[in-house]
Amino acid sequence: PPTSESTFIENLQQQYENIDTEAINSFADLPLSPKTLKGLKECGYTKPTEIQKETIKLSLTGKDILGAAQTGSGKTLAFLIPILERLFCKQWTSFDGVGALVITPTRELAYQIFEELRRVGEHHEFSAGLIIGGKDLKFERNRMDQCNIVICTPGRLLQHMDENPLFDCVNMEILVLDEADRCLDLGFEQTMNAIIANLPAKRQTMLFSATQTKSVRDLARLSLKDPSYISVHEHS
Ligand code: ADP
Ligand code: MG
């Protein structure tokens, strides 16, 4: 017989198809888990931004996303909330390994994303890891195998993939590239291609940047399946 949690999850998922972004005024209007809603509330987040509404609506059902919205528009939560929700619905546990990988171009951005995840995701039981170098590789390596959500920079991630035979992404479900255009600008393109070659083909991929550039589309072609393009220009 289904557990009450699996029944709850089924009910939640049945609402995904019917999200009307026009009618969403607060996070509580979205079909999100109580754990995520509590985390958002405690962080003082009440109303989703445009990019958050559009991305949450489309990504909860597993679609690939190519999202563009200006700096400061709230792209971090636009991908962290779907990560938490997708892993929650899959009832992900520590035994399932890495479920989501977030790649961002700089250590500072990785650290900010990690901190936001810790705050908003506080009531979930997932373990999160920050893989940015600066710590010794062995220390990171031992931690990494137990992480459900990994936030990393491209170079350090590839180093782990190359040097750590135990590093295992076979179960990985969600790949996020934050500031995808900057990853390319900074000369990470080959590193990114090598990383993507190491990841399971069957996954959800979400790319975010401030502008939709040609090079982001190139990368999209490498890794996204029939993506939904979300472009938000907020006027004040
Ligand atoms: P971007 O990645 O698009 O540049 P961030 O995700 O870094 O934007 O968010 C910019 C700022 O807006 C952060 O300080 C964040 O805490 C805040 N923020 C994000 N979403 C919301 C929201 N729904 N309500 C209020 N503030 C938000
Ligand atoms: Mg950002």
- pLDDT at residue number 103: 95
Which burial class, exposed, middle or buried, applies to 166 when counting CB atoms under 10 A from its CB (0-12, 13-18, 19+)? Answer: exposed
Is the pLDDT confidence value at 193 over 60?
A: yes
Q: How far apart are CA 29 and CA 63, in angstroms?
A: 21
The pLDDT-based confidence of 214 (bands split at 50, 70, 90) is: low
Tell me how many domains the chain contains.
1
- Supply the residue whose CA is at minimum distance from atom 24 of ligand 1: 45
Mean pLDDT value of segment 107-135: 94
Q: Indicate whether residue 236 lines ligand 1 (CB < 6 A).
A: no
Q: In this predicted model, what pLDDT tens digit does every residue of 177-191 receive, in sequence order?
A: 999 888 877 678 789
Which domain covers residue 43, as residue numbers? Answer: 4-232
Residue nearest to ligand 1 atom 14, measured at CA = 72
What ranges make up the beta strands (E) of the chain? Answer: 65-69, 100-103, 128-131, 149-152, 174-177, 204-209, 228-232
73 within ligand 1 shell (Cβ under 6 A): yes
Residue 30, ligand 1, Cβ within 6 A: no
Distance CA 213, CA 35 (A): 36
Element containing residue 216 per DSSP (H, E): helix 214-223
Question: What CATH number did the domain enclosing 80 receive?
Answer: 3.40.50.300
Residue carrying the six token digits 């190359």: 162
Per residue in 134-148, pLDDT tens? Answer: 767 776 776 777 799
**Would the CB of 104 count as within 6 Å of ligand 1?**
no
For residue 81, pLDDT over 60 is answered with yes
